Every structure is written in structure tokens, then in C-alpha cells.
Amino acid sequence: MIPRTLLQVGWPSMVARIVSIRAPHLLRPPLFISMAKSDYFTYVWAVENVNMFYRKPVQSPSFKLPSVKSEFCIELCLEDQNDQDLMSSKLLRKSDDEFVKVNDMDYELSILAFDGSCLIKREFFSSRDKTKHGFYVPRDEVLVQRRSAFLPNNTLTLQCKVSLSKVVNCFARTRIRIEKVSLPCLIKNICSFNKNSKYAAEVRTTFLRNLSIYYEIFWSRCCEEKLKVKLIPDIEYNCDFLEKSDRDAKHAVDCYTLGISLSDALGKEECILDETRLNFRKIYCSSCPHETISLPLTRNMLMAESSKYLTNGALSLNCVFKFYADASMNEIEFKKYGDSDRHEYSSKFLNEGNEESAPTLRDDLRSLYDDHILCDFTIQTEAKLFSVHKSILISRSPIFRSMIMNCVKRDLYISDVDSETMHRFLLYLYTDKVEDMEWENALKLFAVAEQFKIPTLMKKCSLILTEKLTIRNVCDLLLLAYKYNDEEMKSSIRDFISLHDVTIFKSDKWIKMEETNWSIAAETLRLIYFKKECR
């Protein structure tokens, strides 16, 4: 009989933890499989962006076994429905319109390491396992304690093997959707806020345009006067007026998280709120449709150490929201018949992007920037302070060299560049790499690169912008190319216009450009005409 105390604390998870600690060989058997037959169907499924916050069940792309009509899939529960301390995986078969557990066939489920070796394995036989389904493992072991082994590049790889008369290898991939939104907040005169004062802002997701989260930052009314954040979703969870695509997207969002860091007077980041999970469903089902989080800052603390925490009386916070939703990609990548080069394919599939190497110079310089190591200069924008190294800036930009060499102070105020663009720009100066280069970001970064005379960055931005050319933005980019006299960009734009000439010349933007910038329009038409004649 199981002791009552074990039942109260959740004995399955306790047993799993004890086994993982005292007898790890039971959870980590030798490489691959030991089923009776030598031929088998192998299904390898990589789940990207696995994390401790996303908790909805994930199903693999469905697959069929040779000579079997039914469809199958693997289900991964990052938080088991019966025990929140465990994660589980099961093989399911499609019956009517839903997938059900399989208990009438022999198969094996396992979790693979990045090199294809087996970390956890469980064999199931129809003759003895009629009531047993799937394997269970402590969430902490996979997501925290042995994360580097189970989740290289945040990817969990599962394998299912079924005995067959011939060899078939199938490889599939699913990507959990994560959207990160970083919002710098510069709260002016924070110490003089009264009980009715608050800082308010809004954050939106790109994959669900009707979902916004309003958040307010204010002082609590208790004697300590702690700084608090109130989060208010602006949409009812059961909205019939939404379009079907928006309703589907709304239900696809599992949760969102919030992390907050504080930039002190020297620009150094200090985390004051670790990434915290907030559940949409819990909020929407509550009679009070918001959540409030207390931050470890009090009014007395800020007033007593204003020189440390405040810049001209303003508190600089960086709020990072992450939205976790259903898969943005769910597909079978390829199928291979025969076993001759299975390991070649599986190695390529499992090791994609997982090469472990020593840190490069780029990594080390990125660490200097991220960790604010031995910084000796500060760049201030409207909303944020950046701690930097003069030697890096001077060596990368002649404009920075002139500004810094003639600057008596240890800081520089740049008012015409927003904080996000300045961060991307500094990151490029340190690493020679660009990130998050959507259209608007590339436009802003191109202008900053020209302002500080970084031709390599201008060229990268130019390539990104021309790759994202559309009929709607071609006129805007043409004017930009003439403004900065970028001949390569001009040539690419003329080629694009030549392919879509009728549609573009009839557009309102082109007609307006002919009126306001007739010389540019005329030269563009002339060069396109001459190029066609030469052909």
C-alpha cells in the first residue's frame, strides 16, 4: 500500500526524482533501440523553442505507417495534466476526429541528445502494456538541471520506433511561437508621483492584432510605498465579434511573461523582476481582469539613492514581454526509405545549428557590451542610457572618434536616435552583426549608419531593404537611395520597377512623387528605358 504522505505530495513525481538522482542509468539507457525485429519505422521529431513557460500539449505532424490506414502523432505535454512536476510524451492514433492513446502495438519512445544518442527510452509491448502509455520525466530535470543535454538550442528531440518489415525514416519539426517585445520606459519625476499618478503604456503582439496589454506603473498606497505594475488585457476572452483568424490566434496564445530591468545612472542594467509567467485564461476568467506585481523598489529607496537609480529625476526601466503561442511551424521535413544513409540524415537533422565551439572574438565583444565590463563612456538617448567602451566606438566610426576626442565629459547625448535603434547600432559596432531587421528597423539603422559613416552597415541595411521591396514601399526607398546617393540601391530599385512598371506608375505614390520629386522620377524612367533598349 502506498503511504498517505506520498499520495499527498504527489508520489509519481517523487519516485521519478529519486530514480533520476539515485539510478540515472534507468533513465538514460544505451544508444538507440533493442526491439526484436531489425527493421523499423523511425519518426524523429524536433520541437523548437521548448521552455518552462509554455504548458499546452504539443502534437507532432501526423504520419502514416506503411500498410496501416490510421494516422499517428506524438503528443508532448511540457506539464503533465495529472502532475505539474512531470512532463510526458505519448503515441496517439487518429480515431474518428480525434487522437487517442495507442495500446495495441509494439513501439518505443525516446528523447535524443544532439548527437542522436538516447537520453531516455521506454518500450511498449501490446501483450503486457495495455494500460501503460507514454513516459514521464521530472520537468526540472529536462528544463533546468540537465537543460544543456536535453535542450541544445532550446530544441527537444523525440523519437518513435515501430517494428516493420522494411526500414523507413521520417523527420519532422515543430516550432513553438515566441514573440519578444522590449519597451523602454523613462518615468520622469517618479519620486514626486502622488497616489493618483501613474505611468501607462501599451504592448501589442504582431500575430494577434486585437490583443493588447495595458500596463500601469505606480506607487502602492501602503506605508512602504512600493513600486507596482498592473497588467490589464483589453479584450474579453470569449469575443464573438472577432474574425475567425483572430479567434484562432487568441486561443493559440498560451501565456505571456514579463521581465523588468533597471538602468542606473551609469547605464548598467540590473534585473528587478525575473521573467514571470502570466496566464491569459486565469486573468480573463477572474472577476478582477488584471494582475498586479510588486517591484523591489520603494519611494524612500529611490530618494535616498537618487544619484544611483535616477537620471535627472527620471527612472529608466526596460520591460520585456514575451508571448508564447501555438506552433508557427509544424511540418514533416523529409522521409527516407532504406537504412544505408540514415545516420547521415539524422546527424544533419539533429545537429543543425548545434555545433559546440569555443567562444569567438565576436562572442567575447558581445559579452563586454551585454555585461557592461569596464565601461568608460555613456551614450544617452531620450529613453535609455548605454554603457560603452570608447576604444570600440573610436575604432569603428570616424564621427564617434571626433565626438569623443573633443568631449570633456564621460557621456554623450544623442537625441535623434531612438533607444531600440541605438541598441542595434551599438551591437553592430561590437559584433559586426545585425539583429531583428524588419523593414522599419532597417530604415532607421540605415540612417544612423550614414550619420556615423559606417559603410559596411549601410550596405547590409541596403541589401535587407531591397530584399523587402514591394509595390507599396518602392517610392519611399527610391527617395532614400537618392538622399544618400546609394547607387547599388538605385539599380536594384530600377530593376524592380521595370518588372512591375504598369502597377507602380498607376499608383498614387508614384503620381505624387512625379509632382514633388519630378527629377528623380524622370531620371528613373530614362534609365529604365535605356536599359530595356540595350537588351
Q: Domain residue spans in the chain?
A: 40-176, 178-239+250-324, 360-468, 473-534
**Running DSSP on this structure, what letter comes out for residue 62?**
P
Give the pLDDT band (50/70/90) at residue 530. Answer: confident
Give the C-alpha separation, 174 to 59, whole Å.
9
Please tell me the CATH code under which domain 40-176 is placed: 2.60.210.10
Please tell me the CATH code under which domain 360-468 is placed: 3.30.710.10
Cβ(305)–Cβ(283) below 8 Å: no
3-class SS shares of the chain: helix, strand, coil, % to 5: 35, 30, 35
Cβ(249)–Cβ(258) below 8 Å: no
The helix/strand/coil state of 433 is: coil
Contacts of 494 (CB under 8 A, 6+ apart): 524, 527, 528, 531
Average pLDDT over residues 193-212: 76
Q: Is 90 exceeded by the pLDDT of residue 430?
A: yes
Mean of per-residue pLDDT scores for the chain: 79
Q: How far is CA 442 from the centre of its chain?
A: 19
Same fold, 40-176 and 178-239+250-324: yes
Least-confidence region, from 88-92, 95-99, 132-136: 132-136
Cβ(124)–Cβ(64) below 8 Å: no
Contacts of 493 (CB under 8 A, 6+ apart): 466, 469, 474, 477, 478, 481, 524
User: What local confidence, expressed as pLDDT, does residue 280 receive?
Assistant: 65
User: What local confidence, expressed as pLDDT, does residue 38 receive?
Assistant: 53
Cβ(102)–Cβ(93) below 8 Å: yes
- Burial bucket for residue 60 (CB in 10 Å: 0-12, 13-18, 19+): buried
According to CATH, the topology of domain 473-534 is 1.25.40
Give the pLDDT band (50/70/90) at residue 130. Answer: low
According to CATH, the topology of domain 178-239+250-324 is 2.60.210
- Containing 199, the helix (H) or strand (E) segment is strand 199-204
> Can you give the pTM of this predicted structure?
0.58
